[in-house]
Structure 1
C-alpha cells in the first residue's frame, strides 16, 4: 500500500489490518506492484513499461507468423492476440504516433521475414478488410486514435 497526495508519497504508517486478520503492508521506497503489467509507482519510468509492451507485442507477432496456419488465420490471430496486448494500455500510457507506427512496422517486417508479405506490397491493402480485398489486419495507429477519441 502506498499513499500519494499530489504526486508525493506520504510517510509510512502502520500496516492496515483487515477484518479477517490479514494485513496490508506498505510498500518500501524501492518496491513496486504491477496492475495490468504496468508498474504502479509514482517514480517509475513509462519508457520501461513501453519497452516491455513492445517486446511482448513483437514476441506474440513472431509466434503467430511462425506457425503453419493459413494467412487468413494468422491475420485473425494477430488481431486477437497481439493487438489487445498493447491496446489495453492506450488509456493509461501516453504513446506518441511514432511509437504506434513502429508497432505497425514491426508487424509488417515480421510478415515479410516469414515470406507472407512482399516488401513492396501495398500498405493500405494490408489494413483493408478481407471483404474489400485486403488482409484484414488492425491498423494500430487508427485503433489508437479511435480509443483516445472516445
Structure 2
C-alpha cells in the first residue's frame, strides 16, 4: 500500500511549477546558470579551466542560496533585510516605557490648576479683577466660568465646585 505524507501546517505547502521546484527556485537557478556559465566562458581562455570553474561556482552560489534557503517561512532576502534593519538602521537602545494613567491624571489636574490661575489673574489694562485671558468682561465667552454660573443658577449651593 502506498504511503503519502500530509503536512499538518498548510502554510508550508508550496506550488511546484516544474521539476519539483517552485517558481522562485526556477528563477534563482536560471539566474545562477546564466551568470555562472557566462562567466565561465568569458574567463576560460584568459585564466584557464580550473580558475574559471571556481569563478562559476563563486558567482552561481549566491543565487542558489537565495533560491533554496528559507528559515521560519521567510526567504533569505527578508532575513537579511531584518538583520540590516535591526543592527544598522534602528538604534540599539530601546528604553522600556509604561503608560502610567495615574501620572496622566496628575498632569491633567496640574494643567487645570494652571489654567485656573491664568484665568483669575487681574487685568492690568482696566485694573479690574477680570479675566487675565482678555479684556472682555463677557462671561459667556469663557467656557470655565459659564459652567460654574449655570451650576450656581440652578440652585446648587456649591457653585463652581460641582463637576
TM-score using structure 1 length:
0.25
TM-score using structure 2 length:
0.24
Structure with more strand by fraction: 1
Q: Which has the higher contact order (CA 8 A, sep 6+)?
A: 1
